[in-house]
Structure 1
Amino acid sequence: MPTDQRRIVVVGAGSGIGAATAAHFHEQGDHVLAVDLRPDDAQASEHAQCDLRDAKQIAKLLGSIGADWDLLAYVAGVPGTAPAADVLKVNYLGMRLFVEGMLPLLREGGAVVTVASVAALGWQDRLNELTGLLEATDGESAERWQAEQDPNYPVYSTSKQAAIIYAKRLAPAAWQKYGVRVNTVSPGPTETPILGDFEESMGKEVLDSVKATIGRHATVTDIVPVIAFLGSPAARWVNGQDIHVDGGFVAPLTVGAPIQL
């Protein structure tokens, strides 16, 4: 019997953008698997726990969920207040391992959407610097790479830069081999439970200046529709893109002063 119900995996569904993403798909009648580190009360059809710092746990989970999924939304992330190793493992390496393990489980025409960040601004200028991290396939290698980096450079930005570059490099092969699209969404500052951590790691005055420039911080309801669009058949020809969802804050930083009206 034909059905319009889709099968969605949301990683990082315990709070914030992840919880709102799970709720969005659940409310429209899709089958949602909510994945988080701890037990969560996300609106979903089923729940699973996974420590994304642990490659064995990722492999075990992916080996248990079966195939024929339509979308992987990797929304999990930890802020720069966490240990550097955890930031790299969850935001980049865990994402990479989860995505690569999910590709064979996604239907042709499916999609991967990873939440990155406007904090990754400037990733184009760090391609050579990030080579070692992008070649790392385990946590120990990522930690060794980080130990040789400038400790004053924000590791959160590094993790999201690597996530964007990886997605762009993976997208052509994922499309050609599996018929699956890979894109990233980069929110600006967003009202979630970890906003305070970002204020601590990035500077409250910095985030306040962003808010003053564009009028407010984002809410999860600003971000989730973009994730949903990129994961839908309506975005069937969008692949390898990083979409800023920041109210337009970043644009003048990259092209010069805004036109005054």
Structure 2
Amino acid sequence: MPGRLQNKSAIITGAGSGIGLETSLLFASEGANVLLVDVNVKAAESVAALIATRYPNVRAIAVKTDVGVEKEIKDAVDLAVKEFGRLDIMFNNAGIMHPKDDHALNTEEKIWDLTMQINVKGVWWGSKYAILAMRENKPDPERGLTQGGSVVNTASFVAIMGAATPQLAYTASKGAVLAMTRELAMVHAREGIRFNSICPGPLKTPLLMDFLNTAEKRDRRLVHLPMGRFGEAVEIAKGALFLASDDSSYVTGTDFKVDGGLTSCYVTPIGEPLLPPPSSLA
């Protein structure tokens, strides 16, 4: 059977690690050609090599891109269209959580500005140039291709609920992603361009584990997780696949929570977790 992304092309930012890595592998396994965008180009090249070995029927290209620089995002989108013929999926996933991000009294302006540059402007520019590319997409029923495309933006559960473990700039940036995604979804709905946010819960990825660098910090959060464990990047990748594919053809403007029930929780269950974490695709 053809994959859910057969003949489609995708850009994945932050493709070299974590959610981006797992999503790149999953999209390729479902038939998509992928442009792997990362400021760490060696990490992206490693993912591209892995895709070439596992899925020789698709193309994977790694490119060094700083999503905080508008021209570099434009160049990445132009490259995807040039190499693949069109852009069907844009996954604006790259983001930062600065270790010195704190509450309002302690967060330095330079930390705030850097976080907004990457997490908000990067998503804005990725969306902007994806729209311009997706407007050129023509329906091709024989190849299973439609007009428009799908843009998926990585937000966070912290954009929905507050926490007493502050990371003000990160939280504010992810709230901006939610609001921006909803507006983009409404403006471009009749062009066939869908916009959705994915809101991960706390994940066992380098980004968060480097931030939660002590047992005390990790335990402070685990006690609130209904499933009793951190999520895995591959679980977010599967959510991104749904939003990127035609399975979600009537879904736009959503805040898709993949958080193990955290944002619906008041009192956590008693007992040990029953579900083991899923295996990674990496």
Local SS of the residue matching 1:112: strand
- Aligned residue number for residue 95 of structure 1: 123
- Aligned residue number for residue 29 of structure 2: 27
Aligned-partner residue type, residue 210 of structure 1: H
CA distance, structure 2, for counterparts of residue 173 and residue 187 of structure 1: 25
The alpha carbon displacement at 1:53 in A equals 1.6
Unpaired runs of at least 5, structure 1: 124-151
**What is the Cα-based RMSD across aligned positions, in Å?**
2.6
Distance verdict in 2 for CA 1:48–1:153, change over 3 Å:
closer
Local SS of the residue matching 2:11: strand
Unpaired runs of at least 5, structure 2: 52-59, 101-110, 138-146, 271-282
The alpha carbon displacement at 1:258 in A equals 8.0
Contact 1:80 1:154 in 2 (8 A): no
1:161-210 per-position Cα deviation (integer Å, ceiling 9, x unaligned)? 0000000011011212x311000010101111112244269943432323
CA distance, structure 1, for counterparts of residue 69 and residue 95 of structure 2: 14
- Aligned residue number for residue 54 of structure 1: 69
CA distance, structure 1, for counterparts of residue 236 and residue 10 of structure 2: 17
The alpha carbon displacement at 1:80 in A equals 3.4
Matched, 1:65 2:80: yes
Matched, 1:75 2:90: no
Contact 1:79 1:197 in 2 (8 A): no
The normalised TM-score by structure 2 is 0.73
CA distance, structure 2, for counterparts of residue 203 and residue 42 of structure 1: 31
Distance verdict in 2 for CA 1:168–1:97, change over 3 Å:
same
1:127-174 per-position Cα deviation (integer Å, ceiling 9, x unaligned)? xxxxxxxxxxxxxxxxxxxxxxxxx76110000000000000110112
CA distance, structure 2, for counterparts of residue 89 and residue 200 of structure 1: 25
CA distance, structure 2, for counterparts of residue 13 and residue 97 of structure 1: 17
CA distance, structure 2, for counterparts of residue 165 and residue 48 of structure 1: 29
Contact 1:111 1:231 in 2 (8 A): yes
- Aligned residue number for residue 47 of structure 2: 42
Give identity over the alignment, percent: 26
Number of residues of Structure 1 aligned to a counterpart in Structure 2: 226
Matched, 1:192 2:201: no
CA distance, structure 2, for counterparts of residue 207 and residue 5 of structure 1: 41
Of the structure 1 ranges 113-122 and 41-50, higher mean CA displacement relative to structure 2 is found in 41-50
Aligned-partner residue type, residue 157 of structure 1: T
Matched, 1:155 2:169: yes
Aligned-partner residue type, residue 112 of structure 1: V
CA distance, structure 2, for counterparts of residue 173 and residue 191 of structure 1: 35
1:23-79 per-position Cα deviation (integer Å, ceiling 9, x unaligned)? 001123321110001212124511111111212322333333325211111111111
Aligned-partner residue type, residue 42 of structure 1: V
Of the structure 1 ranges 72-81 and 54-63, higher mean CA displacement relative to structure 2 is found in 54-63
Contact 2:80 2:86 in 1 (8 A): no
Contact 1:80 1:197 in 2 (8 A): no
CA distance, structure 1, for counterparts of residue 123 and residue 240 of structure 2: 16
